[in-house]
Amino acid sequence: MALLNQLISTLKELVALAGVARSGGDLKAVADLVDRLIDSPQMVECLRRCREEVGGAAMIDGRYPPLQPDLAFLGAMPKGSLGQSYAELMLRRGYDPEFFRPRPLRSDAHWLTQRIATTHDIHHVVSGFGTTPEGESGVLAITATQIGFPAYVMLNTAAQVSRFRFKTKSYALMGRAIAHGNSIGFSAQPLWMARWEEGWDWPVEQWRERLGITKPATGEPYGLQPVPG
C-alpha cells in the first residue's frame, strides 16, 4: 500500500509539472506544483537541511513573516539600494508584488514555501539573474542547491531535459545559467534566511558582500539588463 501511495503521489507531481510546461510557466501552474510538493518526503528533507543551518530552526519556529513590500516606499530609497532596485525591477516588469498564492502558515513547510515565494524576485536582484527563462532557472538553481527546495529541483530538471530534447541550440545557455546558479548556491550564504526587510536601504553590493555572492550574473546573457537611460 505504501508503494502504491508513493506511485500515486509521484504521478500527481508529474501531472502538475506537465501543467507548468503546457502553460509556458504560468504562475498558477507553478503554484500548483509547489503546493503538490508541500507534504512530500522531499520537503521533509528540505526542511531538515534548513534546520541544520545556524539560526535556521529559530527562523522557522519563529515564523519570520512573509514579505509584504510597499513599492512606493521602497522606490523612494537611494539609487542602488536593495529596496530601490527591487521596486525598479517590479515596476519595470509590471509585476504584482503580491503575485504569490496566499497560504496559511500552519506548518513549517507552508511557512518555508511562502517565504521563498514572496522573496523570489529579491533573489533576482541580489544574484543578478534576469527574468528570461534562463535567468529564472539560474535563480531557482541557487535555492535548489542550497536546500533542495522540491519544486525548484523539478522545474530545473524539466527545463534542462526540455531544452536538450526540443531546443538543442539553446541548451548550452540554459545549462550555463543553471551551473552559474549552482555555483552561487554552493558558495553563498543561504538566501532563504536573509532578513531583507532589515536592510532595504543597504546597497545591493553590500548585500552581495554580506551573502558571499562574488560572481553575480550581471552582464551575462541571462543577467539583469540595465535600465535604458
Average pLDDT, the chain: 85
- Taking the C-alpha atoms of residue 176 and residue 161, their distance in angstroms, rounded to an integer, is 14
Task: Answer with the residue of higher pLDDT: 166 or 13.
Answer: 166
Identify the pLDDT of residue 21: 43
Identify the pLDDT of residue 18: 43
- Taking the C-alpha atoms of residue 143 and residue 152, their distance in angstroms, rounded to an integer, is 7
- Taking the C-alpha atoms of residue 37 and residue 19, their distance in angstroms, rounded to an integer, is 14
Range 95-124 average pLDDT: 84
Identify the pLDDT of residue 65: 79
Range 16-29 average pLDDT: 50
- Taking the C-alpha atoms of residue 70 and residue 83, their distance in angstroms, rounded to an integer, is 9
For the stretch 32-49, pLDDT in tens is 888 889 999 999 999 999
For the stretch 189-207, pLDDT in tens is 999 999 999 999 999 999 9
Range 70-86 average pLDDT: 95
Instruction: Using the structure block, give the residue that is written with the C-alpha cell 546573457.
Output: 221
Identify the pLDDT of residue 179: 97
> pTM for the full model?
0.86
Task: Answer with the residue of higher pLDDT: 188 or 3.
Answer: 188
- In this model, does residue 14 exceed pLDDT 50? no
pLDDT range class, residue 182, cuts 50, 70, 90: very high
Identify the pLDDT of residue 95: 73
